[in-house]
Homo-oligomer: A and B are copies of this chain.
């Protein structure tokens, strides 16, 4: 047990220093490592396995809704990036620039993609000519680069892994439907796979994507009541089509500009998982994304038959289609318990000589620490039920956190009071002006998170300017 305690002591308590607790988990659960370039991280096997599970779940949903994967070049000529004015203004200042190929200075410099709208548009121009060529519903899994000044594991990298969907449609209506469909897929995935409740909403013009007409977002609340923007879906109208001169011949035999969307989520969702579900013993992984859903641990494994019995349990769990493993190493039981708690494995399944006599095993839940003895005949049913219960439990706890720390406020004073005492999402009315949005940021340090799709009339006037208005909005402090 000394070893056990030692491991646990290595994590800073989240109540003491949430940022340090977060970084401790990233390192101690072996999710990530630093490289020699500031802000560029190494995704270690356990962290990358979470990303692979996220990829598989999302990719299935993308393909089921008719999307196809492609791979675009990683470099963008400066002249291409400049074709859409708002877009280049937003991204050029944080691009990394390639100026030499081998020993030769390039005639034009190339940036490493910060996002790929311009590359997709260049390609769309080549392949879209007729209404028969539409829609084009593409996605790519890749990494992008943004030369940020500050960095934090998963939350802010200079290079991060993501997916970016890019679609072209014959009509505005279809493109708008696509934008909302993808937002819905993100929300469903976050809630039903990552157990992270979301608020779906629209970004203000100030917060929207550079070059988009409208940006929609799924916002999540972390354990410390701060916000994490967890996915965005953009409606572009025909702005890029016009800038890139992409047209198609419609059924009416006339040229038209297609309507465009893009949408993306990134490895920052892994940061979201950590900060939504983690506790002072380490990572807590939602079962549907956990690289290891159940870890079988033989107790007193030198005793006759124990390893066989544990191996049989492992076989049955794997036959259920679960991601299960067994640890029969010579580490102590205490070490193993602490290790798989740190790594957030949802269920620990233990079996020893006494259990074998009684025809049972002992299952320990990572989320609650609760232990139950399960008759071997009921293993599959119980494990399936427990995994669902862990998911529900994590979701409900996170939902309570979100609900408890979303507060209706009518005045700036109320927002100030709320943010200073407990923090969270302050819900107010908003007149829609940039001035009032900036005043909230300058005076109270909060940014607009979104105008929720589920609007609620929580007052009559904007708390900043006092004008009467109809739109409700959430304010918070964001990662």
Residues from chain B with Cβ under 8 Å of A93 in the complex:
102-103
Whether the Cβ atoms of A123 and B42 lie closer than 8 Å is yes
Quick one: which of B69, B72, B100 contacts A52, CB cutoff 8 A? B69
Interface residue A418 (Cβ < 8 Å from any Cβ of B): no
Q: CB within 8 Å of B: which of A63-113?
A: 68-75, 77, 80, 93-103, 109-110, 112
**A297 CB to nearest B CB, Å:** 18
Total interface residues on A, using CB and 8 Å? 51
Whether the Cβ atoms of B98 and A36 lie closer than 8 Å is no
A126 to B112, CA, bound (A): 28
A33 to B36, CA, bound (A): 35
Which of A43-51, A200-208, A312-320, A353-361 faces chain B? Answer: A43-51
Interface residue A127 (Cβ < 8 Å from any Cβ of B): yes
Residues from chain B with Cβ under 8 Å of A77 in the complex:
36-37
Take A41-B73, A68-B49 as given contacts and tell me if A96 and B98 are in contact as well, using a CB distance cutoff of 8 Å: yes
A463 to B41, CA, bound (A): 53
Whether the Cβ atoms of B99 and A71 lie closer than 8 Å is no
Q: A45-B70, A93-B103, A101-B147 are in contact. List 18 more A-B contacts (CB 8 A).
A: A33-B126, A33-B127, A35-B122, A36-B122, A40-B75, A41-B73, A42-B73, A42-B119, A42-B123, A45-B69, A48-B69, A49-B68, A74-B145, A96-B100, A96-B101, A97-B101, A98-B99, A98-B112
Interface residues of chain A, those whose CB is within 8 Å of chain B, are 33, 35-37, 40-45, 48-49, 51-52, 68-75, 77, 80, 93-103, 109-110, 112, 119, 122-123, 126-127, 138, 142-143, 145, 147, 158-159, 161
